Amino acid sequence: MEALYVDALVLGAGPAGSAFALNLAPFQRVVMLEASPPAAMRIGESLPAAAGKLLADMGLYEAFLQQGHQSAHLNISHWGSDMATEQDAMRNLDGHGWYLDRHRFDCWLQDVAQDRGAALLRQSKLLSFAPAKSNPDHWDAVIAVQGKTVRIETKMLIDASGRKSLLTRQLGIARKATDKLVCSWLVGKDTDPSAGSSHISAEAGGWWYSSSLPGQGRIVAFYTDADLPEANACNHQQGLLQRLKRNTQLSACLDEHGFVPGQQHGYCAAHTAALEQFAGPNWLAVGDAALSFDPLSSQGIFNALYTGLAAAEAASHYDADAQAAYVAELASIKAAYLHHLNIWYQQEQRWADQSFWQRRVAT
């Protein structure tokens, strides 16, 4: 089987993999593998205001603004108190964030990566890989592409496969989860065209999140631990809506927006997890494959973009120093994230005797 030679083979074409590819492709040969096209609806629909500077660094900001994602101007929270706390974007020096159309956003990043020279192999997956016989510093990978088998020799392997960490698991790198958080969500519509806000509301069994989506859409999500009764009761739409009615604060906010539930519903993992090793000889992990965040942080997509850019910079001149610098950067991100996550959860003490909060709130 004749081999295709590339500089970087990226397993995954989500925001992290695309960010890596679009930053490295102008200088090196990059191939992305996409097992399936971006989902029409995904959790992870917001981007914080600080992402504007990151997008500008990648030469994407002006084009991003043309995508028509909805501005995020107001967050209302019931956290640590029955009283509502409002955070207005006018007080943020970086301005407002955005509620994303995730399908449009993911497809756009893929298009930019291809425009900058990356190849995207759709309906493809990695079958096997091993050190290349011709050069032990390279990888010999075998992939399946739309039913055909292709051999690729690459200098670098990039794990951008999300929470599954498909590549690094095969390398024997352990992935450690620190909690059991799951999310049950549904999508509907706001009949009030002026609605454009997000809401966080804590309760005894976990916490709720809701935000606007482009086109007067709205997502409502409940977060709890997978082994608690609340998870089993809310893993279907009817159970989720029944529990939502009991949260009078959030229900009142949704009523103000004229929220009407739709038929789209999902249930997914949302726990914090990290690889024990973020990089090694001729491989790197990016985004959720390296470090996945609790959605309370609202940093998931930002982290995907940032680590994609950082990995591209490391891969452009990859050696022991570049590897060590990348590992140190992700270790710093992990430490800061865990510190702030602990602070956020400790702010809520109203249900310190309940299982969900006992696991997170120090007494």
Six token digits for residue 188: 């509907």
Q: pTM score, two decimals?
A: 0.94
The number of C-alpha atoms within 13 Å of 28 and in the hemisphere containing its C-beta is: 23
* 284 within 8 A of 278, measured Cβ to Cβ: yes
Amino acid at 21: A
pLDDT at 68: 86
* 190 within 8 A of 212, measured Cβ to Cβ: yes
Q: Would you write out the chain's pLDDT as a tens digit for each of its 363 residues?
A: 567 999 999 999 999 999 999 999 999 999 999 988 766 666 657 898 899 999 999 999 999 999 988 888 788 899 999 898 887 755 666 678 898 888 899 999 999 999 999 999 999 999 999 999 888 899 999 999 988 999 999 999 999 999 999 999 999 999 999 999 999 999 999 988 766 688 999 999 999 999 888 888 899 999 999 999 999 999 999 999 999 999 999 999 899 889 999 999 999 999 999 999 999 999 999 999 999 999 999 899 999 999 999 999 999 999 999 999 999 999 999 999 999 999 999 999 999 999 999 999 864
**Taking the CB of residue 61, how many other CB atoms lie within 10 A of it?**
14
Can you state the percent helix, strand and coil of the chain, rounding each to 5? 35, 35, 35
DSSP state of 171: T
* 179 within 8 A of 292, measured Cβ to Cβ: no
Six token digits for residue 251: 């229900």
